[in-house]
């Protein structure tokens, strides 16, 4: 059996491990425990993706529903429900799910990796050595860089955590002149305030003064003061981490793959960090299966993973850019000026145009492997759409250029016709009167 080793037991590493086990592979996962207890805000979409990855048990005791408040561009409003994810509880649940699935879990730090075309020799602390035929890198931003890649404006997030008075679970986000802050409080009184700033222009004090400086900035915000209700701060801690958007130069080879934040790490403003991690991880088991079992398709499988990761990165980067552009008060300040223009000027969501649709052969996932099929290329889906609700759309689009919709869709069931009509209308198709 192929020896597969995964570095990292976060959502991405866990999703790949569970996917590989479902395909019948043996998996060894190497991970260290997170050094700082974090709380993360996630959407219902993220929860659905985590459940879809088979992580129901990990979520069972880790989620706290919260009403999210927003103070952006001088306007305050309550947004959709945001779910707070307690990472220590969630991480323990991930490990339980991995063990239940038969994944060998090793708690250790990776000291070195020596790779060749045949295997990877892995040295762990404690003197243990592993040999892997295939390696999955899922250690997030801590993964060693591969080449220069693509980087957004250099950004750092300063997370403050302290014990306050018990209250109501809530979260909020606020734009500031030189950055933005995400804040949360739990019913047990645990409070979190994360300030995200520009590395080049923030002019932060030294490490010894940083905690006091953060407290001063937090207390200068009337919005934050009301949110935390002037609660007493005990056991105040600080954790600094990079939150620069990063796309790895290469994310797949013949016997290795990068997933999650190790492949691409997005700006935390989008609130979709875990979602994008899962997006690259959920496709990885099929890519790996193709590389191992159908080496003649290696180039196709690598292209599939590389292009998907690149397109996801750019999509999230453009969404983040548009959020930054919504803040008009400090448009000329260094933090906002750099981020309202990056990564490019291309719209995040292009207007639908049926006449501009193209049909091309592209990599797709079919029966557990990467294959090739005709897909429909749209402005929003440059890698193509293969099928909608099980119906291949390329043959339909080709026929609709010369035939009526009534004739083309006649072979479908009533439910399929309803779904396909809705998709066509969304692509700008308008039947002839």
Q: Which two tokens stand for residue 297?
A: 């398709």
**CB-side exposure of 76: number of CA atoms within 13 Å?**
7
What element of type H or E holds 423?
helix 414-426
Cα 285 from Cα 17, distance rounded (Å): 8
Options 2.40.160.60, 3.40.50.2000, 3.50.50.60, 3.40.50.300; CATH of 4-39+87-147+246-339: 3.50.50.60
Cβ contacts of 366 within 8 Å, gap of 6 or more: 373
pLDDT at position 269: 80
What tokens appear for 359 in the block?
């049909």
- Crossing angle (nearest 10°) for helices 11-22 and 87-100: 20
Beta bridge partners of 205: none
Query: Cα separation of 251 and 280, whole Å?
Result: 10
Model pLDDT, residue 130:
96
Say how far apart CA 31 and CA 29 lie, in whole Å: 7
Q: What is the pLDDT at residue 2?
A: 64
pLDDT given at position 5 = 98
Domain boundaries of the chain, sorted by first residue: 4-39+87-147+246-339, 354-426
Q: Are the C-beta atoms of 122 and 110 separated by less than 8 Å? A: yes
148 three-class SS:
coil
Helix 44-52, helix 273-293: angle, nearest 10: 20
Res 271: pLDDT: 62
Helix (H) or strand (E) holding 83: strand 75-86
Q: CA-CA distance, 197 to 201, in Å (whole number)? A: 8
The CB density around residue 58, as the number of other CB atoms within 10 Å, is 25
Among 52, 108, 95, residue whose Cα is nearest residue 275: 52
| pLDDT reported for residue 342 | 95
For residue 433, what pLDDT is reported?
Answer: 61
Which residues have a Cβ under 8 Å from the Cβ of 333 and sit 6 or more positions away? Answer: 177, 178
Cα angle, residue 179 at apex, residues 37 and 234 outer, rounded to 5°: 40
Distance CA 255, CA 249 (A): 17
Which residues, in sequence order, are CB contacts of 207 under 8 Å at separation 6+? none
Task: Going residue by residue through the chain, which has 433 residues, state the pLDDT in tens, using 9 for 90 and above.
Answer: 569 999 999 999 999 999 999 999 999 999 998 777 788 888 888 888 888 888 887 888 788 888 789 999 999 988 667 888 888 899 999 999 999 999 999 999 999 999 999 999 999 998 999 999 999 999 999 999 888 899 999 999 999 999 998 988 999 999 999 999 999 999 999 999 999 999 999 989 998 999 999 999 999 999 999 999 866 888 889 999 999 999 999 999 999 999 999 999 988 886 667 888 888 899 999 999 999 999 999 999 999 999 999 999 999 899 899 999 999 999 999 999 999 999 999 988 888 899 999 999 999 999 999 999 999 999 889 999 999 989 999 999 999 999 999 999 999 999 999 999 999 999 999 887 6
Alpha carbons 297 and 185: distance in angstroms, whole number: 50
């Amino acid at each position: 059996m192929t020896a597969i080793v995964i570095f990292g037991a976060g959502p991405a590493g866990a999703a790949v491990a569970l996917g590989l086990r479902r395909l019948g592979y043996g998996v060894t996962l190497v991970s260290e425990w997170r050094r700082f207890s974090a709380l993360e805000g996630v959407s219902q979409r993220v929860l659905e993706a985590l459940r879809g990855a088979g992580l129901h048990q990990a979520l069972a005791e880790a989620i706290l529903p919260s009403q999210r408040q927003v103070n952006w561009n001088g306007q305050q409003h309550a947004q959709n429900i945001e779910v707070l994810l307690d990472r220590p509880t969630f991480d323990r649940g991930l490990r339980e799910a991995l063990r239940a699935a038969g994944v060998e879990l090793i708690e250790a730090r990776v000291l070195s990796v020596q790779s060749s075309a045949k295997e990877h020799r892995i040295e762990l602390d404690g003197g243990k050595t592993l040999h892997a035929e295939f390696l999955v890198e899922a250690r997030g931003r801590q993964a060693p860089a591969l080449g220069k890649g693509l980087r957004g404006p250099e950004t750092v997030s300063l997370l403050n955590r302290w014990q306050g008075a018990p209250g109501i679970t809530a979260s909020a986000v606020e734009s500031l002149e030189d950055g933005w802050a995400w804040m949360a409080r739990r019913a047990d009184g645990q409070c979190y305030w994360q300030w995200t700033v520009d590395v080049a222009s923030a002019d932060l004090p030294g490490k010894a003064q940083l905690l006091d400086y953060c407290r001063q900035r937090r207390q200068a915000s009337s919005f934050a003061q009301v949110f935390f209700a002037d609660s007493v701060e005990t056991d105040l801690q600080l954790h600094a981490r990079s939150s620069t958007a990063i796309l790895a130069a290469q994310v797949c080879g013949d016997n290795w793959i990068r997933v999650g934040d190790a492949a691409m790490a997005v700006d935390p403003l989008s609130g979709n960090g875990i979602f994008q991690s899962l997006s690259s991880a959920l496709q990885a088991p099929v890519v790996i299966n193709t590389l191992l079992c159908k080496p003649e398709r290696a180039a196709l499988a690598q292209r599939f993973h590389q292009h998907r990761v690149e397109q996801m990165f750019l999509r999230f980067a453009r969404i983040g850019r548009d959020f930054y552009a919504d803040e008009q008060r400090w448009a000329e300040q260094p933090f906002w000026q750099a981020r309202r223009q990056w990564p490019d000027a291309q719209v995040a969501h292009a207007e639908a145009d049926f006449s501009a649709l193209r049909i091309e052969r592209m990599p797709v996932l079919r029966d557990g492997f990467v294959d090739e099929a005709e897909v429909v290329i749209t402005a929003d889906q440059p890698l193509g759409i293969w099928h909608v609700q099980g119906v291949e759309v390329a043959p339909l689009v080709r026929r609709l250029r010369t035939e009526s919709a009534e004739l083309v869709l006649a072979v479908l069931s009533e439910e399929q016709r309803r779904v396909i009509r809705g998709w066509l209308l969304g692509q700008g198709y308008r039947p002839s009167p």
